[in-house]
């Protein structure tokens, strides 16, 4: 994939995920012109670390900066919708961290506003744009696996933070589902499409957030996807796509740049895949956004806004079943 690298990026929210993303932008030759935070000191420290020309002490200052074309929204989940709309209203394209928003209603508002403003909005589900995932979609299209019947994936980490940390705060959309579970759920939907029904169970923590979530995506034709996410312990973090003739086994850590094998039903290795990726691989989503802007397209085939909205609907149903409601929804 090629890009003109013509866009000038602004970073909204200088936290850990923004640091990882910006590092990949810089490593791969993108232009980052500004960063914004509610605290000028934080913005300036971030700007100094990456040699970014301007630091803004407000998000409004960032989105109205005339030298910013696209805003990367890296604030907590509960703020995604508001900050995405702030940037869109300022005429900027937007890459908004996953999970796209807190819920489907917010996601619909963001997607509709982007369409009205004629601006690209893209969910930063960076895994979908990685080289191994692109090759996997090609293999699926080629029919190598036969009929795909099952998807298995986990995203499990030990995130033993204090109770007041974002991950444990319901008001900020904390819990395993929006931080970690979005990965296997989005992956399963990428492979199988939207489910016909969902069965979910969870363990809730002392602050009321979901600490472990198991969600089975069911399809009327018999296909199934089993997904598991946890902030209480690190698991294998692998994934498999199982078909009637072969399967794909994606190695640890499946949602980052990694290797995979295509294995026939009699255990013959049909293909092994590896790619040379510079950095963490988060720049591929930026490449896609720049490609869409250059092509004057508002959405692409890998993750259109309508699919991000629908995925939030699936997460809403999971939360309904496990009894998690965010304070802003009350």
pLDDT at site 2: 39
- Block residue for tokens 């403003």: 117
pLDDT at 164: 86
Residue 13 has pLDDT above 70, yes or no: yes
Predicted local distance difference test score (pLDDT) of residue 5: 65
Give this prediction's pTM.
0.96
Look at the block and give the residue holding tokens 């990428």. 190
Contact 212, 154 (CB under 8 A): no
Instruction: Look at residue 328 and tell me whether its pLDDT is greater than 50.
Output: yes
317: enclosing H helix or E strand: helix 305-322
Whole-number pLDDT of residue 316: 98
Average pLDDT over residues 301-316: 98
The pair of three-digit structure tokens given for residue 270, joined into one six-digit string: 């049909």
**Is the model's pLDDT at 204 over the cut of 50?**
yes
User: Partners of 202 in the beta sheet?
Assistant: 213
Dihedral (Cα; 80, 85, 87, 90), 10-degree rounding? -170
In the predicted model, is pLDDT for residue 215 greater than 80?
A: yes
Query: Alpha carbon of 10 to those of 2, 173, 315: distances in Å?
Result: 21, 24, 29
> Nearest 5°: phi and psi at 170?
-60, -35
Position 1 scores a pLDDT of 36
| Residue 147 reports pLDDT greater than 60 | yes
- CA-to-CA distance for 186 and 182, rounded, in angstroms? 6
**Burial of residue 267 (number of CB atoms within 10 Å: 0-12, 13-18, 19+):** exposed
DSSP assignment of 23-68, as one string? HHHHHTT-EEEEEE-SSHHHHHHHHHHHT-SEEESSHHHHHT-TT-
CB 211 within 8 A of CB 205: yes
242 has which bridge partners?
A: 150, 247
Whether residue 233 has pLDDT greater than 70:
yes
Residues composing the chain = 330
What does the pLDDT look like over 60-117, one tens digit per residue? 999 999 999 999 999 999 999 999 999 999 999 999 999 999 999 999 999 999 999 9
């Amino acid at each position: 994939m090629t890009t003109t690298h013509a866009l000038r990026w602004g970073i909204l929210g200088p936290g850990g995920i923004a640091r990882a993303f910006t590092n990949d932008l810089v490593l791969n030759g993108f232009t980052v012109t500004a960063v914004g935070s509610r605290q000028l000191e934080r913005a300036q420290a971030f700007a100094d670390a990456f040699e970014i020309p301007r630091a803004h002490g407000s998000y409004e200052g960032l989105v109205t900066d005339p030298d910013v074309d696209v805003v990367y929204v890296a604030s907590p989940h509960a703020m995604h919708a508001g900050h995405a709309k702030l940037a869109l209203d300022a005429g900027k394209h937007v890459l908004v961290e996953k999970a796209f928003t807190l819920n489907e209603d917010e996601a619909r508002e963001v997607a509709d506003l982007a369409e009205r403003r004629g601006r690209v909005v893209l969910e930063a589900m960076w895994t979908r744009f990685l080289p191994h995932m692109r090759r996997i979609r090609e293999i699926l299209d080629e029919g190598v696996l036969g009929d795909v019947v099952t998807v298995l994936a986990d995203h499990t980490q030990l995130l033993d933070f204090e109770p007041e940390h974002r991950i444990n705060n319901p008001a900020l959309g904390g819990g395993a589902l929006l931080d970690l579970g979005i990965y296997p759920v989005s992956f399963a939907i990428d492979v199988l499409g939207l489910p016909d029904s969902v069965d979910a169970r969870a363990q809730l923590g002392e602050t009321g957030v979901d600490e472990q979530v198991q969600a089975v995506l069911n399809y009327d034709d018999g296909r199934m996807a089993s997904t598991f996410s946890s902030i209480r312990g690190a698991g294998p973090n692998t994934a498999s796509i199982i078909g009637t003739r072969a399967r794909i086994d994606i190695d640890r850590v499946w949602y980052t740049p990694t290797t995979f094998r295509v294995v026939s039903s009699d255990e013959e290795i049909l293909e092994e895949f590896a790619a040379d990726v510079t950095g963490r691989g988060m720049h591929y989503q930026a490449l896609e956004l720049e490609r869409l802007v250059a092509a004057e397209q508002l959405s692409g085939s890998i993750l259109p806004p309508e699919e991000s909205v629908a995925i939030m609907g699936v997460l809403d149903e999971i939360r309904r079943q496990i009894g998690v409601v965010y304070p802003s929804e009350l």
